A and B are shown apart, each in its own frame.
Chain A
Amino acid sequence: DTEVTQTPKHLVMGMTNKKSLKCEQHMGHRAMYWYKQKAKKPPELMFVYSYEKLSINESVPSRFSPECPNSSLLNLHLHALQPEDSALYLCASRNTGTGTPGELFFGEGSRLTVL
């Protein structure tokens, strides 16, 4: 199983809503990433979890709240978002066993629209 599964694929929410994005992998990877990608732009790193601990937060606004409940699951909780937060949110995982930056395995993304 070499898949990273993201749900939902599409999400529309109002600025006062609370919603969550979910990412799951069963490859035994202990590093998981959230990226934000606007149309025709490169992915921008948001958060990195390593061994279930937050290791990198790229100064992301607090309306985005990541959570890593276990080694297979990564959530991104959304609250009070702005229309400019509309984007494709990508989850990725990495095998930490190699000791070097190896392949990032990406999910298909969750396309978020904030009204």
Chain B
Amino acid sequence: AQTVTQSQPEMSVQEAETVTLSCTYDTSESDYYLFWYKQPPSRQMILVIRQEAYKQQNATENRFSVNFQKAAKSFSLKISDSQLGDAAMYFCAYATSGTYKYIFGTGTRLKVLA
């Protein structure tokens, strides 16, 4: 069975600094998709960034970028120039085209310090 692990329950970053959130996953599939979702307190979960496993190039979305290491089954999220609005729970997620199940990791709570 596929599993997604986030080893950092909580992280803190100073405003304007850079922080990296870690995610590892376990799968025997070759074709899959990885996501980072953000869940602010009492607000809906939104997609931050998506990565297709067959693409070697790391995805980027403005201040958000990933470091995708397929052989190591690692998918970390880097947030540059952190802003107060980045404070939230971040979930790493995995899905395949076969089942379209989205499996979420345990989450990392990010605090941004002014």
Query: 13 pairs across A/B with beta carbons < 8 Å?
Result: A40-B107, A42-B105, A42-B107, A43-B91, A45-B103, A48-B101, A92-B102, A100-B33, A100-B52, A101-B95, A101-B96, A101-B97, A103-B50
Docked-complex contact A101 and B33, CB < 8 angstroms: yes
A-B contact count (CB 8 A): 53
Q: Is there a chain B Cβ closer than 8 Å to A108's Cβ?
A: yes
Report the Cα distance A43→B89, complex, angstroms: 12
Q: Which of B40-48, B62-70, B71-79, B80-88 contacts A (4 or more CB under 8 A)?
A: B40-48
Report the Cα distance A44→B105, complex, angstroms: 10
The 9 nearest A-B residue pairs measured at CB: A101-B95, A42-B104, A106-B45, A101-B33, A108-B44, A103-B47, A106-B44, A43-B104, A42-B107
A33-B102 contact given A90-B45, A106-B46, CB 8 Å threshold: yes
Q: Which residues of A contact B45 (CB under 8 A)?
A: 43, 90, 104, 106
Q: Which residues of A contact B96 (CB under 8 A)?
A: 101
Q: Is there a chain A Cβ closer than 8 Å to B20's Cβ?
A: no
Q: Is there a chain B Cβ closer than 8 Å to A72's Cβ?
A: no
Report the Cα distance A104→B93, complex, angstroms: 11
Report the Cα distance A54→B9, complex, angstroms: 34
Chain A contacts to B: CB under 8 angstroms: 4, 31, 33, 40-45, 48, 50, 55-56, 90, 92, 94, 99-104, 106-109
Q: Which residues of B contact A56 (CB under 8 A)?
A: 99, 101
Docked-complex contact A100 and B97, CB < 8 angstroms: yes
Report the Cα distance A42→B106, complex, angstroms: 5
Q: Which residues of B contact A31 (CB under 8 A)?
A: 100
Docked-complex contact B106 and A102, CB < 8 angstroms: no
Q: Which residues of A contact B43 (CB under 8 A)?
A: 108
